[in-house]
Amino acid sequence: LALQTLFEGPGLGAALPLPDELARLYGKLSFQSRRDGPLILGNFVSTLDGVVSLDAGKSGGGAISGENQQDLMVMGLLRAAADVVIEGAGTLRAAPKGILTAAHVFPRLEKAYAELRQRLGKAATPLNVIVSASGNLDLGLRIFQSGEVRALILTSPPGEQRLAAQGLPPSVEVRALRGAEGLGSAALVQSLGLSRGQVLLVEGGPHLMGSFIKDRQLHELFLTLAPQVAGRDEASRRPGFVSGQSFAPADPRWGDLIGVKRGQSHLFLRYDLMKT
């Protein structure tokens, strides 16, 4: 399960106090400290040909990664280091039984993840945030009903009304964003009220990620490259990790490679998206 570190960029910041087991599996994990607020990280797994969902809205990351255990381990590690994990309603609809915790994605390391959160002085679980303009969410899902996590739904005023009509479970808060920016990613981040030193993890999907990258809100991307060629034909909707936005060539987004790890034929890439 241990990853091999092939490259680590300079100036990544202070190393996190990883418990021995996580340090053995991942190596060192450093986070930059930003002067202007929380550190905002993204995490995706993609095929070699840039597909992140075999049937957008239905298939999950497992079919992309080949149920790769190291990818799940890294996903868990990032969740364990996050104050808030945010995902779009489409991703929740594709994996409706999920909660956004480290232990849920990789139970084998539950104790080590919990120990890391304790060392970082963080709550037992990150705040789970779901973004939905429509408010068309099933409040009977585990993430809302079980009380295992605190959940926050960021939505529009009509979405708020639609959700209120269902009756809110006690562990769920709904917040409607009303400004001219609507649910633009800057407004989403601002509404979370995170401070310097805190970590926001964006798990997608492609529409939510697109809005973060468009607004230059995403500082870093952790991208797992799975050694699979998925292919696309005219009939299939197989998005990359951005949907609903187009950048190049008019307004391109370039990244700096700041980390490369390897687990057999999977690559674990880390890009700084704010340097250029």
Ligand X SMILES: NC(=O)c1ccc[n+]([C@@H]2O[C@H](COP(=O)([O-])OP(=O)(O)OC[C@H]3O[C@@H](n4cnc5c(N)ncnc54)[C@H](OP(=O)(O)O)[C@@H]3O)[C@@H](O)[C@H]2O)c1
Note the residues at the interface with ligand X (CB under 6 A): 44-45, 52-53, 56-61, 64, 87-91, 94, 131-134, 136, 183, 203-208, 211, 243
112 or 230: whose CB is closer to ligand X? 230
88 or 259: whose CB is closer to ligand X? 88
80 or 202: whose CB is closer to ligand X? 202
Shortest Å distance, C-beta 139 to ligand X: 13
Shortest Å distance, C-beta 61 to ligand X: 4
115 or 210: whose CB is closer to ligand X? 210
Burial of 10 (0-12, 13-18, 19+ CB in 10 A): exposed
In the chain, what is the straight-line distance between the N-terminal and C-terminal CA atoms, in Å?
A: 34
Shortest Å distance, C-beta 159 to ligand X: 7
CA distances from 10 to 81, 170, 196, 273 (A): 21, 45, 21, 15
Shortest Å distance, C-beta 55 to ligand X: 7
45 or 258: whose CB is closer to ligand X? 45
Shortest Å distance, C-beta 148 to ligand X: 20
Give the separation between CA 203 and CA 16, rounded to whole angstroms: 21
90 or 259: whose CB is closer to ligand X? 90
Tokens of 132: 């939905």
Strand, coil or helix: what is 204? coil
Shortest Å distance, C-beta 223 to ligand X: 9
Phi-psi label, residue 274: left if phi above 0, alpha if psi -120 to 50, beta otherwise: alpha
Give the separation between CA 190 and CA 160, rounded to whole angstroms: 18
DSSP string, 78-135: HHHT-SEEEEEHHHHHHSTT----HHHH-GGGHHHHHHHHHHTT--SSPEEEEEESS-
